[in-house]
């Protein structure tokens, strides 16, 4: 049978095999860790344009804008007409200096009120846009995160903003994200 010396060599050989396998595993792990991550790209603007929710939000926003647009246009036309009438009367000399100054001050006051209303309308439209798009964007970003995790992407770049200046072998993940969103 085996001598003590042979048993010793077999034990040493087994230990050597185990050490060699552990070493190979360590090297493979280190190489895998140094391997660059997988990169993806997509055009977020195009993705958003293709979503049903975005189209519905845009319709709602257009209706909201129309309410303000009508009143802003009406106020602007009225102010322009009053100013033109004032200019015509002033040039014709039918206004005294005191009346002209009073009317001009009144027109300036109306113009400031119009400007304030216009700014208020712009802020209201911006707030409504944010209100409508926030849930859509949150849903899209969650889908992008899920796609990145499921497909092993280290980074996904948005090419619509020019954020991707350079990337190795990117992959367009738009179809995967659309699928994740049920589109």
Q: Tens digits of per-residue pLDDT, 93-119?
A: 998 999 999 999 999 999 999 999 999
The confidence band for 182, taking pLDDT boundaries of 50, 70 and 90, is: confident
Report phi then psi at 41, rounded to 5. Answer: -140, 160
CA 46, CA 27: separation in Å to the nearest integer? 43
Q: Which of 118-132, 149-163, 164-178 has the lowest mean pLDDT?
A: 164-178
CATH architecture classification, 36-180: 2-Layer Sandwich (3.30)
The answer for residues whose C-beta is within 8 angstroms of residue 159's C-beta and 6 or more apart is 41, 42, 43
Q: In the predicted model, is pLDDT for residue 160 greater than 60? A: yes
Return the sign of the alpha-carbon dihedral for residues 109, 110, 114, 115.
negative
Starting at the edge strand found earlier in the chain, the sheet holding 171-172 runs 153-158, 38-42, 171-172
CA 99, CA 102: separation in Å to the nearest integer? 5
CA 7, CA 127: separation in Å to the nearest integer? 81
């Amino acid at each position: 049978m085996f001598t003590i010396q042979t048993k010793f060599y077999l034990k040493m050989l087994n230990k050597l095999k185990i050490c060699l396998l552990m070493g190979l595993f360590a090297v493979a792990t280190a190489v895998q860790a140094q391997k660059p991550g997988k990169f993806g790209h997509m055009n977020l603007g195009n993705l958003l344009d293709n979503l049903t929710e975005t189209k519905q939000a845009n319709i709602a926003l257009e209706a909201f804008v129309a309410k303000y647009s009508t009143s802003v246009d009406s106020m602007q036309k009225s102010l322009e007409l009053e100013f033109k009438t004032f200019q015509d009367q002033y040039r014709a000399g039918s206004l005294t200096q005191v009346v002209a100054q009073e009317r001009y001050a009144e027109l300036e006051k109306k113009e400031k009120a119009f400007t304030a209303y216009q700014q208020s309308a712009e802020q209201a439209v911006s707030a409504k846009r944010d209100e409508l798009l926030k849930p859509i964007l949150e849903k899209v970003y969650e889908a992008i995160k899920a796609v990145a995790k499921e497909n092993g992407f280290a980074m996904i770049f948005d090419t619509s903003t020019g954020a991707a200046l350079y990337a190795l072998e990117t992959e367009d993940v738009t179809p995967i994200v659309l699928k994740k969103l049920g589109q």
